[in-house]
Chains A and B, each alone.
Chain A
Amino acid sequence: MSAVETYAAEAHGINKRFGPIEVLHDVGISIPVGDARALVGRNGAGKSTLVGLLTGLYGANAGEIRLGGRPAPSLGDRQGWRERVACVYQRWMVIPHLTVAENLFLNNQPRNGLGLVDWRRLREESIAVLDDWGLDVAPDLDAWRLTVEQRQIVEIARALLQGSRFIILDEPTAELERREVNRLFERIRGLQEQGVTFLYISHHLEEIYEICRTVSVMRDGRVVADARLDELPKDRLVAAMVGEFAASGAGRKSGNSASKARMTSGLDIGGLTVKDSLENIDLSVHCGECVGLAGLAGSGKDKIAEAVAGLLNPDAGSIAIHGTKTPLGDVGAMRAAGVGYVARDRHVSGLFPLMSLGDNLTTTVLPKLGPFGFVSTGRQSDMVDRQIAELGIVAASGSQPIGELSGGNQQKAMVGRALASDPKVLVLAAPTQGVDIASKDALYRIINAARDRGMAVLVVSDDLDELAICDRVEVIFRGRLTRSFARGWSDQDVVAAIEGLY
């Protein structure tokens, strides 16, 4: 191996902007050949942007990327990128209706003298590869029938077949069982011995200590630490992820201390179980209490919220509002029982962007606005005007299309819609995601006011600022509630629990 080729991947002085927002600032990373590097950071730290740059999905605004010691190919040269770096994404990157064999050799099929696909050789070579990986599937199987584990192995095997010796794994274990994770790790170790370089992205820090040698920590669009893992204890790794200032979050934000805790039961979840994602969840939120439910994406926290909203019918368990059990898996029944729900992504499951602010605010309460399903415009606009004033929404009028409002005002309207039916229980998933700082404060005030009126509030989030308004934080990890923090927690402990370190 020549001297120049000692780095599998390098990035120097990378800046990356999406529109006006700079998401990477002067990022540098160097991964030596044969290394197993972990890339960690909280959501929004810039990990996926960096991966996008390293795999040629988009270009940097400034800085240089080198792969295998040479400058990276141009963005259009997919073939060039493919030979030097491969990424196993969380999304399915197999072609569902082509066979396993063809997926292994996608766009790389063995060909005969006429340049035509040689199906017999394709099949034979695939069998050799599958045997090599100990993967017990028929080469003629349609790829959509593969399990998540088999799919990942097919994608890793494909990357190696196409000549790539540098593989990025983007949260490969998010959907795997423990046994499957172990098998994947065995394979990764085997490849490491053969000199394959890995960049491993995971939120599960314990896994990183298991199979990585070095780690790069990202925070707020910068690489803030590069270290050997055997020299970096877990608490210092978490401290690097959370940042110096926030690290001692104890006593942060006293707020209106809701320690009055009248202890009237508001929301009671008992034994909630959803196959493969939630196990026997017991969670109670009292009236006038705000509880944070924290966990990674895929930890099951959103499933709990959806179950309470009636969007998901659990396999077992019960949900009670003010002590009365509700029918499960029925949105209408849940709303009638007194649940107000603000879904995670307002653009996907909240807004009707072309409809007016007023229509958006009153979506859930139209039956109350007139007889026989007719909507009294007078009553509607009265209600809308009252809500706009209460929520502090900045808009020309209730008839302005909601799509024209700022993200913060849209989100206020989403919370307003949930509050319109005057619920007993308010469930909010990431309620301040993607809104500016002033709107965040306004939203916190709205949520606090709802709690002080006696609502049971459940905030589903892994954002420390959002959790800071809660009286208590419950942490869910891989479908189980693992820890509970009373007010006065340290952010570092909460993050460590979210990432599954304890």
Chain B
Amino acid sequence: MTNASLEKAAIARPSQGLFDRFRLRELVLIPVIAVVIVIGSFVSSSFLMPENLLNILQQSSELSILVIAQSLILICGKFDLSLESTVGIAPMFAAWLMISDVSIGGSGIGISGYAGIAVVLATGLLIGLINGLLVVKLRLNAFITTLAMLILLRGITLGITNGQTLFDLPEEFLYLGNAKWLGIPASIWIAGLLFLFFGLMMRYHRIGRAIYAIGGNPEAARVAGIPVERITLGVFIMGSLLASLAGLLLTGRIASVVSSQGQNMIFYVFAASVIGGISLNGGQGRIIGALTGVLLLGLLQNVLTLSQVAAFWIDACYGAIILLALIITRLSGETPRA
């Protein structure tokens, strides 16, 4: 390119500022979060205490890992409802294998804690593979397929232990969920690192860009030489893997596996993703946006609790906020042609 055309380009197209680069949509929640924090500090003096803030982060950490998983799948133009059941079944299956006492619901096999962690992740991987094969290879509808998986997996989780809660799990198995690194819970570190990793991958790695392309226009992606089926399958597997990791952390935090573990989480996962700007139509949104969505939900719940709003009303507030977020997105954004 000649100097002249360089100059011409420089005149015609001023370089982007930081704000442009992130775009309005991704950062639209930052002021909202700020407002919630200000309100929270008025509502309760303990709101801004480090313990409370860490508490919010830790309680959000499992949800946020699921949000990463769902965001990847949504950007790829699909979705996976069964993530919440994976959160339950993966650690439940591992716990069942680990407990050697049959009388408290164990299998009697008694594998080690490390083997248990491997079982958790392997279970997640297998579920993702099944979902992926059904949706990608058999071309089943993602909604009904993963809804069926959600019900099936929840049923198996109850069936394994007749609905019992499993306690007495090995220390190694619980470690990640209750350890502290540098005074901060390990699950916060893990969630943070995952956000950093997947945020960078989606932005800077060609696979990340291929996921956006597939979600935006799968036919064009195929013509451009992107292996659409393989990547979609991989995204389903990665999603379930992350969900099983979230299940492991949740189990570690509460030191037991409840048969309802993860139940109803999927609603908050979708809520956080969509509020954070991930489009249900695929190909749109950023991981950083999803992060702001999770933080907003976490802060909101904390503030509502501290301000002694009855627990029964918190869900209503959530619903109203999600609707509001959707309406604002529709009114502020233009709709592209199909």
Q: Contact residues of A with B, CB < 8 Å?
A: 78-79, 81-82, 87, 91-98, 102, 106-109, 111, 115-117, 119, 127-128, 131, 136, 138-140, 142, 144-145
Contact B223 A93 (CB under 8 A): yes
Contacts of B200 in A (CB 8 A): 116
Q: List 20 A-B contacts (CB under 8 A).
A: A78-B225, A78-B227, A87-B223, A92-B217, A92-B337, A95-B213, A95-B216, A95-B217, A95-B221, A106-B213, A106-B224, A107-B206, A107-B209, A117-B204, A117-B206, A119-B204, A127-B9, A138-B13, A144-B336, A145-B336
Contact B212 A97 (CB under 8 A): yes
Query: What 13 additional pairs, Cβ within 8 angstroms, besides A108-B224, A117-B205, A127-B9?
Result: A78-B222, A93-B217, A94-B217, A95-B221, A96-B217, A97-B279, A106-B226, A107-B226, A115-B206, A117-B204, A119-B204, A128-B9, A131-B9
Q: Contact residues of B with A, CB < 8 Å?
A: 1, 5, 8-9, 12-13, 16, 20, 200, 203-206, 209-210, 212-213, 216-217, 219-227, 279, 283-284, 336-337
Q: Given A96-B283, A128-B5, answer yes or no on A117-B222 (Cβ-Cβ < 8 Å).
A: no
Distance, CA A106 to CA B205, complexed state (A):
13
CB distance from A363 to the nearest CB of B (A): 27
Distance, CA A127 to CA B223, complexed state (A):
24
Q: Given A78-B225, A136-B12, answer yes or no on A117-B209 (Cβ-Cβ < 8 Å).
A: yes
Distance, CA A78 to CA B220, complexed state (A):
12
CB distance from A275 to the nearest CB of B (A): 16
Contact B8 A131 (CB under 8 A): yes
User: Which one, B220, B227, B279, contacts A93 given CB within 8 A?
Assistant: B220
Q: Which residue of A lies closest to B225 (CB)?
A: A78
Contacts of A140 in B (CB 8 A): 16, 20
Distance, CA A44 to CA B227, complexed state (A):
31
Contact B224 A82 (CB under 8 A): yes
Q: Given A92-B220, A106-B213, answer yes or no on A97-B9 (Cβ-Cβ < 8 Å).
A: no
Q: Is the interface of B mostly helix, strand, loop or mixed?
A: helix
CB distance from B51 to the nearest CB of A (A): 38
Contacts of B337 in A (CB 8 A): 92, 96, 144
Contact B13 A127 (CB under 8 A): yes
User: Which of A98, A102, A108 gathers most chain B CB within 10 Å?
Assistant: A98
Ranked 5 nearest A-B pairs via Cβ: A144-B336, A95-B216, A78-B225, A116-B204, A93-B220
Contact B216 A96 (CB under 8 A): yes
Contacts of B216 in A (CB 8 A): 95-98
Distance, CA A107 to CA B208, complexed state (A):
10
CB distance from A401 to the nearest CB of B (A): 22
Contact A95 B222 (CB under 8 A): no
Contact A96 B336 (CB under 8 A): yes
Q: Given A94-B217, A96-B336, answer yes or no on A107-B212 (Cβ-Cβ < 8 Å).
A: no
Q: Which residue of B lies closest to A118 (CB)?
A: B204
User: Which one, B206, B223, B227, B336, contacts A97 given CB within 8 A?
Assistant: B336
Distance, CA A484 to CA B205, complexed state (A):
59
Q: Which residue of A lies closest to B205 (CB)?
A: A116
Contacts of A131 in B (CB 8 A): 1, 5, 8-9
Contacts of A145 in B (CB 8 A): 336
